[in-house]
């Protein structure tokens, strides 16, 4: 099985102001003259991790990574004004223009897969290939599956669900996202942080195939927890700023683009049916269901992702 490439550091970082409010943090890694690829992180609001650089052969790729609005090292932190799917799509295009890149590979997982599809459908002429993991299309059933009482994830991770549920009074539990949002948007910083950590414990610890119900999760750091929880609740309560079934409806715009889709059979955050629906609408894409959960770090998912980026480098580099 393929493994991640060795750890690397950026050869250059940038700060790009995209409007009167937001400034993005951007990294360039790998080979300055390599095949351009843009990495789209999850969340929304999760920001970059060092291992995100490692899905690409650094001798053949010019790897562009950035923290989306309000996330990571982008500023202002956790800012939700002018922060929608379509603002982020415009940011991706602004980054491409800033670097003078004509066309590039687009790589995204989880929320990053949503954003990659939205960007590619808006700008298909700019996309050389797509590598998508842990598919999320932002449909109402997907939103309710993981976060609401009538969803199914609570039956898989009951210990975690109890802690997520306990943070909200019983009379507000009919709409958990809205109840969390009221706390995440509180004027009291301690209320915001407590809600964000509870939200992050539910999601962040539910990503891997091998599950430890007491693992605190990926978002236990208050700074990261607040940006993730605020952005996710904001996007979820606005239905991801997409029209119903928009990403499936507009798949015809990208059917000619080489694409790989990989999804964990036991992904509880984004159930595999979502990826199956995408692949059914897009039979030209290579579709892999593997023995994994949601995490991009699960070995079976790493194997497909690295194989896919290597194949695109063989094709274009």
Show the tokens assigned to 32: 């300055």
d(CA 44, CA 60) in angstroms, rounded, equals: 28
Nearest Cα to Cα of residue 298 among 232, 211, 200, 203:
211
Q: Is there a catalytic annotation at residue 294?
A: yes
Chain centroid to CA 317: how far?
26
| Tokens 């970082």 found at | 13
pLDDT in tens, the chain (317 residues): 999 999 999 999 999 999 999 999 999 999 999 999 999 999 999 999 999 999 999 999 999 999 999 999 999 999 999 999 999 999 999 999 999 999 999 999 999 999 999 999 999 999 999 999 999 999 999 999 999 999 999 999 999 999 999 999 999 999 999 999 999 999 999 999 999 999 999 988 788 888 787 776 666 788 899 999 999 999 999 999 999 999 999 999 999 999 999 999 999 999 999 999 999 999 999 999 999 999 999 999 999 999 999 999 999 97
What is the C-alpha separation between 278 and 285, in angstroms, rounded? Answer: 9
Q: Is 267 a catalytic residue?
A: yes
User: Tokens 């290579």 correspond to what residue?
Assistant: 286
Query: For residues 240 and 69, what is the distance between their CA atoms, to the nearest angstrom?
Result: 15
Task: Compute the distance between CA of residue 196 and CA of residue 180 in angstroms, rounded to an integer.
Answer: 8
Residue 62's DSSP bridge partners are 30, 36
How confident is the model at residue 213, as a pLDDT?
78
Instruction: Say what the pLDDT of residue 217 is.
Output: 66
Secondary structure (DSSP) of 77-95:
TT--TT-SHHHHHHHHHHH
Closest to 277 (Cα-Cα) out of 141, 86, 79, 166: 141
Q: Which of 41, 52, 74, 110 is catalytic?
A: 110
Identified catalytic residue from 294, 295, 298, 310: 294
- With a threshold of 0.75, does the pTM exceed it? yes
Q: Choose, from 67, 267, 298, 310, the residue flagged as catalytic.
A: 267
Sequence spans of domains, the chain: 12-139+241-316, 141-239
Burial per residue of 199-229, b for 16 or more beta-carbon CB atoms within 10 angstroms, e otherwise = bbbbbbbbbbbebeeebebbbeeeebbbbbb
Distance CA(8)–CA(276), nearest Å, equals 34
Distances (CA, A) of 294 to 11, 56, 135, 160: 30, 20, 9, 16
Query: Domain 12-139+241-316 is in which class?
Result: alpha beta
Clarify whether 187 is annotated catalytic. Answer: no
Which residues are registered as beta bridge partners of 66?
26
Distance CA 296, CA 109 (A): 7
Q: Is 24 helix (H, G, I), strand (E, B) or coil?
A: strand
Q: What is the pLDDT of residue 202?
A: 92
């Amino acid at each position: 099985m393929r493994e991640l490439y060795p750890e690397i550091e950026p050869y250059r970082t940038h700060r790009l102001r995209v409007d009167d409010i937001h400034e993005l943090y951007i990294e360039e890694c790998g080979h300055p003259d390599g095949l351009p690829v843009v990495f789209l992180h999850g969340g929304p609001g999760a920001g970059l991790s060092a291992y995100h650089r490692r899905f690409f052969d650094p001798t053949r790729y010019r790897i562009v990574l950035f923290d989306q609005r309000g996330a990571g090292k982008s500023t202002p932190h956790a800012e939700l004004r002018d922060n929608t799917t379509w603002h982020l799509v415009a940011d991706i295009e602004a980054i491409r223009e800033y670097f003078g890149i004509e066309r590039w590979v687009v790589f995204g997982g989880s929320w990053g897969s949503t954003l990659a599809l939205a960007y590619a459908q808006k700008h298909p002429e700019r996309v050389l290939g797509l590598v998508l993991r842990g598919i999320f299309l932002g449909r109402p059933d997907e939103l309710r599956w993981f976060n609401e009482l009538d969803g199914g994830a609570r039956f898989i991770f009951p210990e975690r669900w109890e802690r997520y549920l306990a943070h909200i009074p019983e009379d507000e539990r009919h709409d958990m996202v809205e109840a969390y949002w009221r706390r995440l948007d509180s004027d009291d910083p301690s209320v915001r942080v407590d809600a964000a950590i509870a939200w992050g414990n539910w999601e962040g610890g539910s990503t891997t195939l091998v599950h430890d119900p007491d693992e605190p999760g990926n978002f236990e750091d208050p700074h990261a927890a607040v940006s993730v929880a605020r952005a996710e609740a904001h996007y979820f309560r606005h239905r991801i700023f997409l029209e119903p079934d928009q990403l499936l409806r507009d798949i015809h715009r990208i059917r000619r683009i080489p694409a790989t889709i990989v999804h964990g059979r036991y992904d509880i955050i984004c159930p595999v049916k979502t990826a199956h629906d995408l692949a059914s609408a897009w039979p030209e894409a290579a579709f892999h269901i593997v023995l994994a959960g949601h995490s991009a770090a699960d070995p079976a998912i790493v194997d497909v992702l690295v194989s896919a980026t290597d194949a695109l480098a063989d094709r274009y580099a």
